[in-house]
Homo-oligomer: A and B are copies of this chain.
């Protein structure tokens, strides 16, 4: 017990119980709500990162589980809905082990939590070996996400992957 708390006990020796608990919890509830938002944000960050981890590890079962039951993945390869369908889609699109050691660099997370839903915006770069085995940024783009708390866990409600580079066609010579 801190000295402040000990002094409090002495000072309030005859105070009624109800007001203390209530007044304490009025401010307390606000603090708990703020803590919750911070924890939500941290959990969403980990969700965005686990997306890349499971993808790079080719663990598409865990990858699919990052999506809500009606969650949607939308990108250049198509649009798919639901964890099982997303898993099957990716297993077919990217078969085999990641022997190339390519990976996703995920960054620039802008996250906005609103109760049990949230939005996120972020950048991705796909780094892969060139023909000599050296790392190059093969592709780069953005993710636009809506997220939802489902059974107490944050999930992708919709993830839209957009490509920025390479440019659709070679740049004109200067």
Q: List the interface of chain A (C-beta within 8 A of B).
A: 1-2, 4-5, 7-9, 11-13, 15-29, 31-32, 34-35, 38-39, 41-42, 46, 49-50, 52-53, 100-101, 103, 105-110, 121, 123, 125, 127, 129, 131-140, 164-171, 173-174
Residues of chain B within 8 A (CB-CB) of A109 are 49
Measured CA separation A132–B166 after assembly (Å): 8
Measured CA separation A25–B7 after assembly (Å): 14
**In the bound complex, do residue B32 and residue A24 qualify as a contact, i.e. CB atoms below 8 Å apart?**
no
> What would 4 more interface pairs be, CB under 8 Å, given A125-B127, A134-B166?
A2-B26, A4-B23, A9-B21, A46-B110
**In the bound complex, do residue A9 and residue B19 qualify as a contact, i.e. CB atoms below 8 Å apart?**
yes
Partner of A131 from B5, B34, B140, B171 at Cβ < 8 Å: B171
Partner of A9 from B22, B106, B133 at Cβ < 8 Å: B22
Residues of chain B within 8 A (CB-CB) of A7 are 23
